[in-house]
Structure 1
């Protein structure tokens, strides 16, 4: 009994080594040779050189210690060992071919809860495309978007209160991961009834006398520093974290504001707001996507990141 058990263990270990050391790409090449009735046709079908395909077949035969096919006056023919391996290779190809369908079915059944924390009124086609792709790939997913002041967003991701954060001016915490999303450009705008409507100025110092509507704690530090450099906001006409309410104040003629161009572009095109300056050179606010790989809920964030389109 002991000898039998030892023999079975030895055979099992040998089989494991055989599978572990086998180059599975060689099985795929052999399947193509069989399917295309020869090395020459297989090389054309695979867009590879014939010597490379012949070499792959030789390596497989050497590893197995068996002759798999013969070529002679009668053309290409499989040996008995080749016939058996061809049947196994066809089954493997069919199984691999069904893998994508199986994975898609698993994705369709995944119930994922994704918590996103973001500053208000983010305008990013890249971000929107990721959300759409996520919803399509995981139809049973539940997405929640929370608007928060940007200084809080990194802490929300770090503490597990959010899986993904969207924020400007990050502190670049070493415990978090950052993916550049896009850059915002800014300009000063006002409502159509304001005295500065339809009057583009490059005199930034002169605007220090104007009353400004301020985004409060949702204003990135780089933007705030630029505004304070010229004394903008020394006189305040209003304040709100909600960009919709900021626009309401501006359209009512209450002051001017330094805001991201994409945020106010629809109102500018509709004439509901007017540009007071051109886009300001040198004032770009980089927006980052923030995740925490150490979070127990990182699975949801990782699936979201996988679908993020590359930067254009």
Structure 2
């Protein structure tokens, strides 16, 4: 095709492109097959296939390569998906904003939060927000940090509280707090309640951890700590949720990392036992992530401003949980 091909007429695409086709394509792009997308959309497979064909005709490009055992976006498909996700988020938010135009601060705030976020600063901001605006509502989705950031980028979440690896230049970041990770074991473990342990005592013991506990990922410092402890190479269990990592540690599946301030109560209650190292524990920063480009209802903007102000007013030393 050439640049003069009528398929590339911008005015024609604007006139003929159907929002419902874009919405269907977002689901197609996030699925593993046409059948998978049809199930999510609660439509019949031929209907979804026809919608894809119509969209490809509108934009003049093949968007998904399909063959037995193969289903992948083309380069044009990846480009359209990136734009369609943002358009989808904007349309959904527009309807919400229009519905929530009242004198009171109302509206819904959707937080995407990593599972190990435990922060008095955040708790206080939520408490003050609710007292000031009781008509506003809140939902909190516990996701992996990567998925939480993706939800913000797609404008499906108001903002996120999570770990951050690579920074997306389209998003804003502010450190909420710093936490320190230690290694712990549970009651069934042979090192439980053992005093005067040295790091050499951990050598060869099995371990459990987070899915992001890899050298190339956001918990790299924790990976290094486990390596220094010479724990066994085999990881018995992994999860993206702190509660499940804790469950496996308490059940005796292996030694595992947890934020020290989060594990403190379990240590006091005799459910967890901290093992070496005790000094120079790896620190991990937890961030507030939001998009300035996303239109926000008044509830979202109010809560965001409250959290940012609390961060500004609180020295980092008071936001570091050792």
TM-score (norm 1): 0.60
Q: How does 1:186-265 map to 2 (within 5 A)?
A: 186-199=181-194, 203-204=198-199, 207-217=202-212, 220-228=219-227, 230-232=229-231, 234-265=233-264
Which residue does 1:14 correspond to in 2?
Answer: none
Which residue does 2:283 correspond to in 1?
Answer: 284
* Among 168, 174, 177, the residue aligned to 1:179: 174
| Partners of 1:280 and 1:233 in 2: CA distance | 21
RMSD (Å) for aligned C-alpha atoms:
2.5
Which residue does 1:147 correspond to in 2?
Answer: 142
| Partners of 2:103 and 2:271 in 1: CA distance | 43
| Partners of 2:193 and 2:264 in 1: CA distance | 15
| Partners of 1:131 and 1:279 in 2: CA distance | 33
| Partners of 2:174 and 2:294 in 1: CA distance | 17
| Structure 1 stretch displaced more, 123-132 or 186-195 | 186-195
| Structure 1 stretch displaced more, 244-253 or 257-266 | 244-253
Counterparts in 2 of 1:195 and 1:133: CA distance versus 1, 3 Å = same
Which residue does 2:266 correspond to in 1?
Answer: 267
Q: Which runs of 4+ in 1 moved over 6 A?
A: none
| Partners of 1:224 and 1:301 in 2: CA distance | 36
| Partners of 2:197 and 2:228 in 1: CA distance | 15
| Partners of 1:156 and 1:251 in 2: CA distance | 32
Which residue does 1:311 correspond to in 2?
Answer: 314
Do residues 122 (structure 1) and 125 (structure 2) align? no
* Among 118, 126, 131, the residue aligned to 1:131: 126
Task: Report the number of matched residues.
Answer: 207
Larger radius of gyration, structure 1 or 2? 1
CA offset at residue 214 of structure 1? 1.4
| Partners of 1:202 and 1:178 in 2: CA distance | 39
Which residue does 1:113 correspond to in 2?
Answer: 108
| Partners of 2:246 and 2:198 in 1: CA distance | 23
CA offset at residue 138 of structure 1? 1.2
Q: Is the 8 A contact 1:193 1:252 kept in 2?
A: yes
| Partners of 2:235 and 2:169 in 1: CA distance | 37
CA offset at residue 152 of structure 1? 2.0
| Partners of 1:160 and 1:208 in 2: CA distance | 46
Q: Is the 8 A contact 1:113 1:300 kept in 2?
A: yes
Counterparts in 2 of 1:196 and 1:227: CA distance versus 1, 3 Å = same
TM-score (norm 2): 0.58
Which residue does 1:26 correspond to in 2?
Answer: none
Q: Secondary structure at the match of 1:173?
A: coil
Q: Is the 8 A contact 2:117 2:162 kept in 1?
A: no
| Partners of 2:187 and 2:151 in 1: CA distance | 39
Counterparts in 2 of 1:230 and 1:256: CA distance versus 1, 3 Å = closer
CA offset at residue 175 of structure 1? 1.5
| Partners of 1:209 and 1:201 in 2: CA distance | 18
| Partners of 2:172 and 2:232 in 1: CA distance | 34
Residue segments in structure 2 that go unaligned for 5+ positions in a row: 1-100, 316-322
CA offset at residue 186 of structure 1? 1.2
